[in-house]
Chain A
Amino acid sequence: MSTRPALSELPDLPCDAEGPVFGAPWEAQAFAMAVALQQKGLFSWTEWADALSTEIRHAQAHGDPDTGETYYRHWLRALERLVVEKGVATPGRLAERAAAWNRAALETPHGRPIVPPA
């Protein structure tokens, strides 16, 4: 298996004695995507820590309460920005995808799995 990232290098990662703490499933999903992309070599862990702290500073400058509840919102923003910077996707492509997921979810009656948009 690939190397475990140095979580201690991340600013303010919500943790307890046993490891990272997530407030909701999407947070864990966003966490896992960043770890997977670093393992894949899309960016280094240092690059990731820089991108994340930039987002956090930016949010704080705009009045983010910095209580930890918004941590993974900054995480997701940093992830989206790095993915765009590395040329993996354009902001337009991401927005288009989000809209397609939205349509798929709205059109799926309860009781059927939401089929990912093509």
Chain B
Amino acid sequence: MPPARPPHAHHDHDHDHDHDGGTQLSEIDLRVRALESVLVEKGYVHPATLDALIETYEKKIGPRNGAHVVARAWTDPAYREWLLSDATAAIAALGYPGGQSMVAVANTPTEHNLIVCTLCSCYPWPVLGLPPVWYKSAPYRSRAVLDPRGVLKDFGLDLPPGTQIKVWDSTAEIRYFVLPERPEGTDGMDEAALARLVTRDSMIGVGLPLTPAQAAQ
């Protein structure tokens, strides 16, 4: 018999995927889940109420962090290169340390990226804030893998048939986020103006950045 594997060290990250495929949740994550499931069972809280409250209050670790990162990558080729080769460090350098390994995947004219976590809604929260409710839903998680083109269509994004769609399944160790393409007609815009074009959905891959005309509306 091989010796039992030593327990993973868990600090502040919320969980870890075990090498056998199972997931080791942190002690604090387990306590939060335990409390929530007891409260739900007894009818004291409803999961949808919690989601709504979080959406109301969650402001700080929001998509604007990611928008800053994307706008920098659009304006500074060296930063873009750094972001694509070591996203964790490049993102931390802008003041958003996250703990987990981040990987930025860049859209091109022929390739579109979409992120998902089929397991449990792992999400690049240092750049994107807390996940939207639909990201955690079972239909999104399963359909994003089976029918990404259909999912994008539901979000109003109809990609040309020639565009290849890549789906990235996040884990606790690697959290992907999408570096969208810089929209047309943005020459001469500075970083702050560009950041306003970057939406959360464009960094998940279910949308595109706004055009300057859309942002002006």
A: residues with CB less than 8 A from B are 16, 18-26, 28-33, 35-37, 40, 42, 69, 73, 76, 79-80, 83, 88-89, 93-95, 97-102, 105-114, 116-117
Contact = CB atoms under 8 A, between A and B. Distances in A.
A80 B31 contact: yes
Contact of B23 (A24, A36, A95, A106): A106
A79 B34 CA distance: 12
Given A25-B14, A33-B36, A36-B50, 7 more contacts: A25-B123, A25-B130, A26-B14, A31-B53, A105-B23, A108-B22, A113-B138
Contacts, number: 155
B77 interface: no
Contact of A114 (B13, B23, B38, B59): B23
A83 B35 contact: yes
Mostly helix, strand, loop or mixed at chain A's interface?
A: helix
A101 B37 contact: yes
A76 B22 contact: no
Nearest to A86: B44
Nearest to B18: A106
B-side interface size class: 35 or more
B216 interface: no
A61 B203 CA distance: 44
27 contacts: A18-B60, A19-B57, A20-B59, A24-B14, A25-B14, A26-B32, A28-B58, A29-B32, A31-B54, A32-B50, A35-B53, A36-B44, A42-B44, A69-B12, A76-B28, A80-B31, A80-B35, A89-B42, A101-B33, A102-B25, A106-B18, A106-B22, A108-B119, A109-B21, A110-B118, A113-B119, A113-B138
B12 A114 contact: no
A103 to B, nearest CB: 10
